[in-house]
Amino acid sequence: MAFSYVSHLYCSACEKTYESTKPQQLCTCGAPLLVQYDLESLKQSFRKEDLVNRSNDLWRYHELLPVLSEEHVVSLGEGMTPLLSMPRLSEELDIEQVYMKDEGMIPTGSFKARGSAVGVSKAKELGIQTLAMPTNGNAGAAWSLYAARAGIESTIVMPVDAPKITRNECAMAGAHLYLVNGLISDAGKMVGEYVKESGAFDASTLKEPYRIEGKKTMGIEIAEQLNWEMPDVIVYPTGGGVGIIGIYKALNELKELGWIEGSLPKLVAVQSTGCAPIVKAWENGERHSEYWEDADTMAFGINVPKAIGDFLVLDAVYETEGWAIAIEDEAIAEEQQAIAKSEGAFVCPEGGAAFAAIRRLRNAGRIKRNERVVALNTGAGIKYPDTVNVEVPVLEKEEQL
C-alpha cells in the first residue's frame, strides 16, 4: 500500500490543477490551492480496520496526507488529542452530550502543531530550505519548532501584542523573529515583501497547500473517536479559518470513502465581536468578507481582520446549514472560568469563545436538546497568562487560614 494517495493540487476558485511534487503557493488567479487524493483507488485498498495498532498520532492517516515518503515525516507526536465528555456543562445547558476536542494537549500547546507537522514535512520533501510567515503567535511557535526539527530556516513576524510565550518559543527554536506594531495583516504585508526579495517559501495561512491537510486530521479523529458516527454540531473558533475548512474537507473525504454516512455536522464559525468579518458576511449572505477595521480581542488567535480563505469558511458553514456567531470578550473570559470551575479544563480564550457560542446557540434554540455537540479548544489556557486576572490574598507567615 502506498504511503500517500495524493493525486494533485487544484485551485479552490478556478479549479486549475498543479503538481504536488513541486513547491506551490497560490493559484495564478490568487486563490488557495487544495490537495486532491485518489480516493477511488483508496476505496479499494484502505479500510477502517487498517488503523488498528497504528501509531497514536495524526500520521495514522498517512494515506490521506500529502507526504509521499515516510522518511520525510517530521513529527513531535502530534495528533489524537482527547475527545472529552463535558457532563456538567451538558446538564447545565440541557444538551444530550457536549464534548471538547482538547488541542491544548498537543505539542507546542495548540492545534497549530498539526498544520506545521504536515506543512514542514512536505516542505522537507520538496527540498525547501527557508520559509517565512506572519502569525498571531501559536502558528509561528509551531512552525519555528518543527522547522528546527527538520533543519529548515524560519523567519517569523508577529504583532507586538501577541502572547509573549509564543515569542519565546520562536526565539528558542532559532527562528529569525520580528515584531510589528500592528496586526497580523501588517505582518503579512512585511512577509510578502520579504519573500519577494529573499526567495523564501511563503508559509502564510493558505498560501501553501499543506497546513490545511494537517488540521483536517481533527475532523478524522472526531469521526474515529465517535466510532464513525457524526456529531450534530461542531463549533470552531475561527480566525484564518484553516481548521474549519480542514474539518469540512476531511468529513467530505471520509464520506466519499464510505467511512461515514448521512448529513455532515452543522459547522459553526465563532469569532469575537471585536473582530467578526466572517460573522458579518454570513449574516449578510455574502461569500466573501470585508476587512474588519480596528480589530481587537483578547482571543488573539482569532484576531484576523481578513482571511484569504474566507469564502471557503463561509462555504463550509452554508453547505452544512451551520451558523457564524460573534462573542464579546467579557463573555469569553466568563466562559473560560466557568469551564475551569465546572469541568476542570483551563481552555484558551478561543476555546472559551466556542463554549460561549454553544451556550448562546442553545439559548436561542438553534442547538437542540437531543443533539451531540463538539467544541474545539484550540490551545492550552496556560499559554495566555496575561488574559487571566485574579486577586489572591497574601498571608503573613504568622496568619491562619
Question: Residue 85: enclosing H or E segment and its boundaries?
Answer: strand 83-85
Query: 73 φ, ψ to 5°?
Result: -70, 130
Residue range 314-333, pLDDT digits in tens: 999 999 999 999 999 999 99
Within 10 Å of residue 164's Cβ, how many Cβ atoms?
A: 13
The 10s digit of each residue's pLDDT in 10-55 is 999 999 999 999 999 999 999 999 999 999 999 999 999 999 999 9
Structure confidence at residue 389 (pLDDT): 81
Q: How far apart are the first and last CA of the chain?
A: 65
Three cell numbers written together for 134: 506572519
Reported as a single tens digit per residue, the pLDDT across 366-382 is: 999 999 999 999 999 99
Could you give the angle at which helices 217-225 and 242-257 cross, rounded to 10 degrees? 50
pLDDT reading at 262 higher than 80 = yes
In whole angstroms, what is the distance from residue 151 CA to residue 130 CA? 9
- Give me Rg for the CA atoms of the chain: 20
pLDDT at 388 over 90: no
What whole-number percentage of the chain has pLDDT above 90? 96
Say what the pLDDT of residue 387 is.
83
Which residues, in sequence order, are CB contacts of 233 under 8 Å at separation 6+?
265, 266, 268, 322, 358, 361, 367, 371, 372, 373, 374
* pTM flag (> 0.75): yes
Backbone angles phi, psi at 150, to 5 degrees: -90, -10
Residue whose entry in the numeric block shows the C-alpha cell 492517516: 61
Distance CA 76, CA 113 (A): 9
pLDDT tier at 255, thresholds 50, 70, 90: very high
Residue 386: pLDDT band (50, 70, 90) is confident
Domains of the chain, start order: 6-72+111-202 (3.40.50.1100), 83-109+216-384 (3.40.50.1100)
